[in-house]
Amino acid sequence: MDTTTISDIRNSKISINIAENREQFGKKFTEYIIDITTSNGHEYTIARRFSEFHSLYELLVHNYQIQFPFPPKKLNKLNVNIIEIRKKALQDFLKFLVIHPSASVRKSDDVIRFLDQNTASFNNKLIKEKLTFEQVNQKKKSVKLELSIVEGKEFRLQKKSMWDIVSYCIFDVGHEPIDGQKSTKKTSIIAGPYPRWSYKTKVTIKSSEPQKTLYFKVFNQESTLSITPSGSSGSNSNNNNNNNSSGNNNNNNNNNNNINNGGSGILDDNSGSVTINTKDCKVDLIGSCSVDIDKLQITNQSPTLHVLHLEPEGSGEILISLLLL
Residue 262 has pLDDT above 80, yes or no: no
- Residue closest to 60 by CA, chosen among 122, 137, 152: 122
Distances (CA, A) of 27 to 22, 24, 52, 83, 141: 8, 5, 16, 17, 38
- Residue closest to 32 by CA, chosen among 43, 42, 21, 40: 21
- The distance in angstroms from the start CA to the end CA of the chain is 31
pLDDT digits (tens, 9 = 90+) for 164-206: 999 999 999 999 999 889 999 999 999 999 999 989 899 999 9
Contact 295, 212 (CB under 8 A): no
Q: Which string of b and e fits 158-167 if b means at least 16 CB within 10 Å?
A: eebeeebbbb
**Cross-strand bridge partners of residue 283:** 221
- In the structure, what pLDDT confidence band is assigned to residue 208 with cuts at 50, 70 and 90? confident
CB atoms near residue 257 (< 10 Å):
15
Residue 258 has pLDDT above 50, yes or no: no
CA–CA gap between residue 123 and residue 61 (Å, rounded): 17
pTM beyond 0.85: no
Amino acid at 30: T
